[in-house]
Amino acid sequence: GAGVSQTPSNKVTEKGKYVELRCDPISGHTALYWYRQSLGQGPEFLIYFQGTGAADDSGLPNDRFFAVRPEGSVSTLKIQRTERGDSAVYLCASSREGFDTGELFFGEGSRLTVL
């Protein structure tokens, strides 16, 4: 079946612009996670949704970052007033919380470059 899909795969933008990154989780997965990964580092947690609500947003670095999941499926990560330091690969994952195997299924990521 289809895995986690992320779009766009690559995004180049200018400093100060607004960016949206989309994640389509595996059908039926109630939990959705956003991570970002800088070169040479492990993925850094940003936010976790259980259904439509953000169960844990402790990883969002500041108020320029926001994520939504209005219908409990697709999620959008929104970054306002982008800065060069936001350049990273943004990873989305989903899982069947409620059957906690701890197995998160990751997408291929969206590579964001802020010039």
Partner 1 sequence: DAKTTQPPSMDCAEGRAANLPCNHSTISGNEYVYWYRQIHSQGPQYIIHGLKNNETNEMASLIITEDRKSSTLILPHATLRDTAVYYCIVRGGWGKLQFGAGTQVVVTP
Residue from the set 25, 109, 112, 114 that interacts with partner 1 by CB under 8 A: 109
User: Quick one: tokens of 2?
Assistant: 């289809």
Cβ–Cβ < 8 Å for 55, 35: no
Residue from the set 20, 66, 74, 105 that interacts with partner 1 by CB under 8 A: 105
CB of 61 to partner 1, least distance (A): 15
Cβ–Cβ < 8 Å for 112, 21: yes
CB of 95 to partner 1, least distance (A): 9
- Considering only the stretches 21-29, 37-45, 61-69, 76-84, report the one whose residues sit in contact with partner 1 under the rule CB under 8 A: 37-45
Cα dist from 114 to 1, 7, 8, 70, 76, whole Å: 34, 17, 14, 27, 18
Q: Which of 88, 68, 105 is nearest to 11 (CA)?
A: 88
User: Quick one: 77 or 93, whose CB is closer to partner 1?
Assistant: 93
Which residue ranges make up the site for partner 1 (CB under 8 A)? Answer: 4, 31, 33, 35, 41-45, 48, 55-56, 59, 91, 93, 97, 100-109
